[in-house]
Amino acid sequence: MSERIFWAPGRVNLIGEFTDLVGGPVLPAALDLGIRIEAEAAETIDLCSHELGGRARLAADGSPLGGENEGWARYVAAVAVELALLGRPAVGLEGEISSTLPIGAGLSSSAALEVTAGLALCAVADFSLEPLELAQAARRAEHRAVGVPCGILDQAASLLGRAGSAVLLDTGTLAYEYVPLPEGITLVIVGSGVSRRLESSGYATRQGEVERALTAFAGRAPGEITLAEIESGEKLGRFDPVAARRLRHAVSESERVHEVARLLGDPTPPNLTRLDEVFAAGHESVRRDWEASTPELDLLVELARENGAVAARMTGGGFGGSIVALAWADEAAALADSILSAYESRGDAPATAYICRASAGAGEIS
């Protein structure tokens, strides 16, 4: 039996933050940073990682083999269990996991691990799933592993990514299309140094809050609700101000996703001033209405804009993590350096910058 290699990228979300919690649109891109599994079929699951530390030792259906599976091993176990529930034959996997993706930076390292483990487990068992079926199984695995009620954004982005493009995904219908990034534009991601864990953040609470407001709209989709209706609903006491703010973010953010997709796709050429404004409004909405930004993320966005980014905002699950900036490729390194040195002189935590390309989604490397 020979080793096979599987790869799943992390993602950066250009805009459409937390909208997947209410079936709204998102606009992520897969990154050229990710997780790799080099493994072969075996009787049990036995994966180790020098980089991540630790080991996953499980029965082929994901059930424990006696020892504790902690840290990243919980995700592998949960993926194996979800795939077994879908009928994957119980074939094990033995090999090594490596990663170029920073952990806890808000770039979906857990989704990349779930997706790459899922691909490898499916391949060795000759079991095939459509990309979005695997994304859904991986999302359920995230719930199972750490109890986080996340949306489909991260897992879908990792599987659907395409080089040079963002993916415009309707998380309600799962319909998607590709939005090519303008020629010469690259992604600058800056990690705030404040690591984030969805399970201990306010992520789950926010979901309960937005649902509180949505109940008052009796089953109407957020895409059909207007900002004026939210304002009057709040005035009439149909929901509380916190719930109103959460829904206002979800509704206004969904509009921004469509506007950014239109702006990026405009060949004549794109209106970059407007792009900057929409990204800034998106950041402000996460800060003020969803309340998931941090002073460090606010500072990084400010520095990125001051230092010539085309557009910048926080990205991902919030409460720490990273910002994403769009920049001209030939200015990206200088932009990253200016942000890092200004941040260092004003902030506490050490920031890290990554210049990335929108990349292809997960798959087997032959």
Active-site residues: which are they?
Answer: 154
| Site size with ligand GLA, rule: CB under 6 A | 11
Q: How far apart are the first and last CA of the chain?
A: 15
Host H or E run for residue 246:
helix 241-265
Q: Which of 6, 18, 72, 176 binds ligand GLA (CB under 6 A)?
A: 18
CA 282/CA 286 separation, integer angstroms: 6
Q: Which of 150, 166, 179, 190 binds ligand GLA (CB under 6 A)?
A: 150
Residue 253 makes contact with ligand GLA by CB under 6 A? no
Residue 151 makes contact with ligand GLA by CB under 6 A? yes
Nearest distance in Å: CB 151, ligand GLA: 3
The answer to whether the beta carbons of residues 84 and 125 sit under 8 Å apart is no
Q: Looking at 70-78, 148-156, 222-230, 232-240, which segment touches ligand GLA (CB under 6 A)?
A: 148-156
**Contact code string over 288-327 relative to ligand GLA, x by CB under 6 A:** ----------------------------xx----------
Residue 33 makes contact with ligand GLA by CB under 6 A? no
Nearest distance in Å: CB 153, ligand GLA: 4
CA 138/CA 78 separation, integer angstroms: 8
Nearest to 288 by CA among 246, 326, 255: 246
Per residue, the 3-state secondary structure of 43-73, as one string, reads: CCEEEECCCCCCEEEECCCCCECCCCCCCCH
Nearest distance in Å: CB 25, ligand GLA: 11
Residue 153 makes contact with ligand GLA by CB under 6 A? yes
Q: Looking at 13-21, 82-90, 179-187, 328-336, which segment touches ligand GLA (CB under 6 A)?
A: 13-21
Residue 145 makes contact with ligand GLA by CB under 6 A? no
| Residues whose CB falls within 8 Å of the CB of residue 65, separated by 6 or more in sequence, listed in order | 44, 57, 58, 59
Strands 92-99 vs 45-48: parallel, antiparallel or unpaired: parallel
Nearest to 28 by CA among 317, 277, 299, 287: 317
CA 58/CA 313 separation, integer angstroms: 40
Residue 20 makes contact with ligand GLA by CB under 6 A? yes
In terms of CB distance, is 84 or 166 closer to ligand GLA?
166
Nearest distance in Å: CB 282, ligand GLA: 11
Q: Looking at 11-19, 29-37, 119-127, 275-283, which segment touches ligand GLA (CB under 6 A)?
A: 11-19
| Residues whose CB falls within 8 Å of the CB of residue 114, separated by 6 or more in sequence, listed in order | 75, 78, 79, 138, 141, 142, 155
Q: How many CB atoms lie within 10 A of CB 346?
A: 11
Residue 17 makes contact with ligand GLA by CB under 6 A? yes
Taking each helix axis as running N to C, give the angle between helix 73-85 and helix 109-124, from 0 to 180 degrees, rounded to the nearest 10. 50
In terms of CB distance, is 93 or 166 closer to ligand GLA?
166
Q: Which of 8, 14, 21, 351 binds ligand GLA (CB under 6 A)?
A: 21
Nearest distance in Å: CB 82, ligand GLA: 16
Q: Using CA atoms of 65, 68, 74, 80 in order, give the dihedral in degrees to the nearest 10.
A: 0
Catalog residues that contact ligand GLA under the rule CB under 6 A: 13, 17-18, 20-21, 150-151, 153-154, 316-317
